[in-house]
Amino acid sequence: MRQMMMALALLGALTTGAYAQAPASEKSKGAKSTSSSASHSVEGTVKSMDSSMLTITRSGKDKGDLMVMTNASTHKDGPIAVGSTVSVRYKEEGGQNIATAIKGHAAPASKSASAKSKTK
């Protein structure tokens, strides 16, 4: 009985500490809860894609690849293709990143194309 009580006390102490610590990024934003359905956003270049998944190479301070799942309720806007720049809003559900909205950005005109238009 005494061992069971010690085990429960230890388990309670360990889980309470984990819930009390919030990630530094959320502390700096002043977030009050750490809900797994919180919305996140990322901007980057599409590395690969198929009908249900998008892999993005992130730009900015959090460089690296991010995989997001797409579904029928994912709102898509603009050109979304491998190599294009996109902004993605997503939420975390069941350990997966689920895209809620993807916005493709038109590629800037190349320097040679803009130089030709200036000479005309």
Round to whole Å and give the CA distance between 63 and 44. Answer: 9
pLDDT in tens, 48-103: 999 899 999 998 788 899 999 999 999 999 999 999 999 999 999 999 999 999 99
Round to whole Å and give the CA distance between 41 and 88. Answer: 5
The confidence score (pLDDT) of residue 60 equals: 77
CATH 3.20.20.70 fits 35-107, yes or no: no
In the chain, what are the domain boundaries? Answer: 1-32, 35-107
pLDDT-derived band at 106 (thresholds 50, 70, 90) equals confident
pLDDT-derived band at 119 (thresholds 50, 70, 90) equals low
CA atoms within 13 A on the CB side of 99: 26
